[in-house]
Amino acid sequence: MASNVSELTTYLAYLEGEWKKSSSGETIAIQSPYLRQTIGYVQAVTQEEVDHAITEAHKAQKRWAKLSLSERGAYLEKWADELVAGSEEIAKTIMQEVGKGFKDAQKEVVRTADLIRYTVQDALHMHGESLKGDGFPGGDQKKIGIVESAPLGVVLAIAPFNYPVNLAASKIAPALMMGNAVIFKPATQGSISGVKMIEALDKTGLPKGLLSLTTGRGSVIGDYLVEHKGINMISFTGGSSTGRHLSKQTTMIPLVLELGGKDPAIVCEDADLDVAVKSIMNGAYSYSGQRCTAIKRVLVNDKIADALVSRLKAEIEKLTVGSPEKDSTIVPLIDDKSADFVQGLIDDALVKGATLVTGNKRKENLIYPTLLDNVTEDMDVAWIEPFGPVLPVIRVASDEEAIELANKSEFGLQASVFSQDIDRALAVARQVEAGTVQINGRTERGPDHFPFLGVKSSGMGVQGIHHSLLSMSRERVTVLNLK
Ligand SMILES: NC(=O)c1ccc[n+]([C@@H]2O[C@H](COP(=O)([O-])OP(=O)(O)OC[C@H]3O[C@@H](n4cnc5c(N)ncnc54)[C@H](O)[C@@H]3O)[C@@H](O)[C@H]2O)c1
């Protein structure tokens, strides 16, 4: 999958169902992390264009909500088909724009089509309920409550760079299915992928105005969108500091936040090391660790720590390092700033006495896979999310110490527990403060119909197909008072 970026395209914004140049006359250059050059330009949308898009979205939403679930679902099914048909081109864009291996990028597109189809089916099978008035002391049989779901209005979907298609569609599809309109704000690096996925949606003949794609400078439209009175719900995935900022900017609207993590792998002394090593390797290093649910620290029992570390070292040294075009596991990080940040965490740990097992090599924004042993609590890498291929190993004396360290983190997205004693694993899992704990497996978001949530600084609210549908709708209660 070789790249040819000799012809640079200026992509248009999708505003009120039309592909348009922004009146700002400005564009934003999109840099490829591994080609280290501009691969295209996107529109810098203005605040006035945001206002107009939101006004039109409200009008379109009222008409859209009147369509039947099956009618709405038909558009989304067609979107899934278009994504699969265009998967090669979209995957190539993801690869170039965010530096993800081509095969993984293509998997992301196909997984997204599956997610959209499942979203349609789940919504079709959601039922309301009726309540009997006499179910409460003194209640009247003639009172019957009908509980249905109703849309919220205009949903603002904000996606991060690392899964630019999947984490956008996992907001857009449930929002549309429940009868909402959508304003979609992609990450800057991720905007061209966003354009491509919305081109696929546009091909379905989606009613004009129902969805607008607002690419632009965070400083000009970020807060403006978030604080806009016309936005009725925000679904955000991104970093914890951005998420915290958003939660301060908004008032009285539902907010779902999926944020950063510092997922621990707790390796008990009776763990099956084959399983633990395989899971930690996949969990920590795929896409250079640029995954919210990457394993970001290992808490291993002293008794097996030497064995685990030497096996991890052997596996790390087999990892492919280089270009996403060659499907390397380790690829250049999203930008130089991110690589500097990861390097800073490695340097801090080494100065404070961590043992370098392997790695700590760098070429521009390509950081080689790094394993640090004997990491202690005074080191930043013990607590901070690197979003890069560096894994700290912290040795512990007991399960209790592992649980204490796991819970000392400000984050609580996922965790893994490795033990061959299921009672022990379950006992540990139930004490870890995280949205999801994986027993004898790697931390990961999928399958997409499982609830997905972070606690503490890792998020607010729940995603996963069914829960996303619920979060993008509200109850509408109608009470029949019979004669
Ligand atoms: N929990 C999850 O589901 C999940 C999934 C993927 C990524 N993440 C997290 O995302 C982070 C990496 O992604 P990123 O670097 O794109 O995150 P980021 O927080 O920098 O950006 C996320 C999105 O927010 C937008 N944004 C930034 N400032 C804004 C503002 N003031 N108003 C409105 N929008 C604004 C960005 O343009 C982007 O679209 C990591 O911390 C990772 O753990 C979490």
Q: Is 448 in the pocket of ligand 1 (CB under 6 A)?
A: no
Report the relative pairing of strands 129-132 and 143-151 from DSSP bridges. Answer: antiparallel
d(CA 100, CA 22): 29
Q: What pLDDT score was predicted for residue 219?
A: 84
**Nearest protein Cα to ligand 1, atom 34:** 222
Whole-angstrom distance between the N-terminal and C-terminal Cα of the chain? 71
Q: Is 388 in the pocket of ligand 1 (CB under 6 A)?
A: no
pLDDT greater than 60 at residue 3: no
Q: Which structure tokens are listed for 379?
A: 């080191």
Contact of 448 with 465, CB cutoff 8 Å: yes
Among the listed residues 479, 478, 477, 476, the one whose alpha carbon sits nearest the alpha carbon of residue 151: 476
Q: Which atom of ligand 1 is nearest to the CA of 445?
A: 3
Per-residue pLDDT tens over the stretch 67-108: 999 999 999 999 999 999 999 999 999 999 999 999 999 999
Q: Report the percentage of the chain scoring pLDDT > 70.
A: 99
**Nearest protein Cα to ligand 1, atom 36:** 187
Contact of 386 with 289, CB cutoff 8 Å: yes
Q: Is 435 in the pocket of ligand 1 (CB under 6 A)?
A: no
Burial of 332 (0-12, 13-18, 19+ CB in 10 A): buried
Q: Report the percentage of the chain scoring pLDDT > 90.
A: 97
ipTM greater than cut 0.90 = yes
Distance (Å) of CA 328 to CA 103, 240, 290, 367: 10, 28, 14, 13
**Count of CB atoms within 10 A of residue 457's CB?**
22
Of 16, 82, 258, 444, catalytic:
258
Phi, psi of 38 (to 5 degrees): -70, 135
**Ligand 1 centroid distance, CA of 314 (Å):** 33
Per-residue pLDDT tens over the stretch 332-363: 999 999 999 999 999 999 999 999 999 999 99
Tell which one of 217, 237, 262 to mutate to probe ligand 1, the residue whose CB is within 8 A of the most ligand atoms: 237
pLDDT greater than 80 at residue 379: yes
Q: Is 259 in the pocket of ligand 1 (CB under 6 A)?
A: yes
pLDDT greater than 90 at residue 193: yes
Residues 6 or more apart from 351 whose CB is under 8 A from it?
A: none
Tell which one of 45, 47, 162 to mutate to probe ligand 1, the residue whose CB is within 8 A of the most ligand atoms: 162
d(CA 420, CA 279): 14
Q: What pLDDT score was predicted for residue 218?
A: 85
Tell which one of 94, 223, 224, 242 to mutate to probe ligand 1, the residue whose CB is within 8 A of the most ligand atoms: 242
Q: Is 156 in the pocket of ligand 1 (CB under 6 A)?
A: no
**Ligand 1 centroid distance, CA of 257 (Å):** 10
pLDDT greater than 60 at residue 32: yes
Residues 6 or more apart from 320 whose CB is under 8 A from it?
A: 326, 327, 328, 329, 330
**Ligand 1 centroid distance, CA of 239 (Å):** 4
DSSP state of 222: I
Q: What pLDDT score was predicted for residue 7?
A: 72
Q: Is 157 in the pocket of ligand 1 (CB under 6 A)?
A: no
> Is 475 assigned a catalytic role?
no
pLDDT greater than 70 at residue 411: yes
Q: Which structure tokens are listed for 419?
A: 């033990």
Q: Is 158 in the pocket of ligand 1 (CB under 6 A)?
A: yes
Q: Which atom of ligand 1 is nearest to the CA of 158?
A: 39
Helix, coil or strand: residue 317: coil
Q: What pLDDT score was predicted for residue 6?
A: 58
Q: Which atom of ligand 1 is nearest to the CA of 161?
A: 16
Report the relative pairing of strands 27-31 and 38-43 from DSSP bridges. Answer: antiparallel
Q: Which atom of ligand 1 is nearest to the CA of 188?
A: 37
Q: Is 249 in the pocket of ligand 1 (CB under 6 A)?
A: no
